Amino acid sequence: MTVSDTYGTNSYTAKELAGLLADRLDVTFTERESDYLGVYFLATLADTTRLQIQPNAIPGDDGEDDSYDAEHPDMSTLLLITLPAAAEPLSDELSAVGALTKIRSTRS
């Protein structure tokens, strides 16, 4: 079983949030580029927790940007976390980051 959490912010770009979280969580984010997502940042922790930071605006097929999370178009940057259900959640560490709001949590 895994837990997926999504956070959003308007206060940081994806690159700024990656730098901030790298310091707070002592992880290294790798910059990646995808035709679907554009430029995003990815880090994987030892317990297989996956952290992905990306803009909410992603390249659309028609040359216009689309929202990755259409339910929250007001959030310019997203943090997507996937972790094993047995892993310690990062809630405490992330609650200390100003202007970062949890917008969704699911278990699968």
Query: For residue 27, how many other CB atoms are within 10 A of its CB?
Result: 15
What are the per-10-residue average pLDDT scores of the chain (108 residues)? Answer: 93 96 93 91 91 91 85 94 85 87 90
pLDDT of residue 66: 86
Q: Which CATH class is domain 2-90?
A: alpha beta
Which residue intervals of the chain are DSSP H helices?
14-25, 91-95
pLDDT of residue 95: 86
- For the CA atoms of 100, 91, 40, 62, the dihedral, rounded to the nearest 10 degrees, stands at -60
Residue spans per domain, the chain: 2-90
Q: What is the pTM of this model?
A: 0.91
In the chain the beta strands, taken as DSSP E runs, fall at 2-9, 30-34, 38-44, 50-55, 57-59, 65-67, 77-84, 101-107
pLDDT of residue 89: 77
pLDDT of residue 47: 83
